[in-house]
Amino acid sequence: MSRQQTALAKTNEHLEDKLDNAKKELDTLLLNSREQFKVLAEEIVKEKGKDLSDANRITLDALLNPLKSDINNFKKTIEDTRKEDIQDITSLKKEIENLQKMNTRLSEDARQLAGALRSDVKVQGNWGEDRLKLILESEGLQNYIDFTNQGTYRDEEEDRNRRPDCILRLPDGKHR
């Protein structure tokens, strides 16, 4: 989890740097485009103005409208991309926060478990029995059908009662 958290943090930093670079590039491109557009528009107007009479002269707006439209489309595309990047970064931050919370909970649970296991032998035994039961059930065995917890049987060799953590029921009425 710590590695994942570190990797997510690095990815977040990378995306933020990428977003900053994109903003700078956009600003530079817009500035350059405006200057080039002004120069180009002035040249076109001068050329066309010489060739056409006053009645047929092309207005600056007629020349600029297609370029304005293209610039607006380009600007919209850049803004949409920025919005997507911001959403990705926000999602990544939320995921990192969730991982941090989960890491804190896991650390606390592990600390409590370690304290409980160190403090009381009965707690240790109960915990071990629970783990054994979970393992058997995860392997597809069913309690009271395939195994029994804390069952009692008579050891005829030592002539005394025994109480193991678990008795497995085997085929042909055998037990282990």
pLDDT grade, residue 10 (50/70/90)? very high
CB neighbour list of residue 127: distance below 8 Å, 6 or more residues apart? 113, 116, 117
Q: What does the radius of gyration of the chain's CA atoms come to, in whole angstroms?
A: 38
d(CA 35, CA 172): 93
Residue 65 CA to its chain's centroid (Å): 44
Q: What is the pLDDT of residues 49-60, one digit of tens each?
A: 666 555 444 566
Amino acid at 87: Q
Whole-angstrom distance, CA of residue 94 vs CA of residue 86? 12
Instruction: Enter the pTM of the model.
Output: 0.32
The tens digit of pLDDT for each residue in 98-113 reads: 999 999 999 998 888 7
Q: Structural domain boundaries of the chain?
A: 2-119, 122-173
Q: What is the pLDDT of residues 46-98, one digit of tens each?
A: 777 666 555 444 566 676 778 888 889 999 999 999 999 899 899 889 999 99
